[in-house]
Each structure stands twice: as structure tokens, then as C-alpha cells.
Amino acid sequence: MTFDIKFPFSRFVVSDKSMEPLYREHDHVLTFNWSKFKKGDVIVFKDDEKLLIKRIGKINNIKIYCLADNQKLAKSKWIIDFPQVVGRVVLRY
């Protein structure tokens, strides 16, 4: 038997430059994992085997459309499902 226990907070280290200038590579962020989110919020989500930090550009009942703040990157848009979201970023430190 497996349990999917979700803790209220998680810590992450930003691993790339896609969210510069607000979130820089190697910044630490804290997410609130029981939070609802809306357009403009910054979230951490699972993409394949990686965790990414991106901003919500659009949200509907089925999908979340995420964007990188640093639009100079080759890939700057992601379309994800709600279960992929780990949490909403609430603090950078």
C-alpha cells in the first residue's frame, strides 16, 4: 500500500536562469503545497523527471499554461495538468 502524503511546505533550489531576474539560479524558494493558485502566481511543477519553477500565464478547468519570465530561452511555454503542480512559491531566500 502506498500513501501520497503532501506536506504543507517544500523547499527547492532554482536550477536554471528561466525565471530571471526575479528568481536567479541557485536561489532557494519555499512553496505552499495546499494553496490554490491563479494567473500570475509562480509555481513549482513536475515535468518528466524534473521540477521546474514557472509563472502561470493562463489557467482553465483542464490545463495550466506556464511561462518563463526570461523569454530569451528556447522553450518558454509549458502546458501542464493540475496533478503536476507541487506548490505555489511563497518565499525566496
Domain boundaries, given as residue ranges, for the chain: 9-92
pLDDT tens digits for 33-69?
998 999 999 999 999 889 999 999 999 999 999 999 9
Whether 23 shows a pLDDT value over 90: the answer reads: yes
Q: What is the pLDDT of residue 75?
A: 75
Residue 2 has pLDDT above 60, yes or no: no
Helix (H) or strand (E) holding 27, with range, is none
SS3 15: coil
pTM: 0.89
Give the residues across from 67 on adjacent strands: 55, 77
- Closest among 17, 16, 14 to 31, alpha carbons compared: 14
Q: Would you tell me which CATH number, out of the four given (2.60.40.10, 2.30.30.60, 2.30.130.10, 2.10.109.10), belongs to the domain 9-92? A: 2.10.109.10
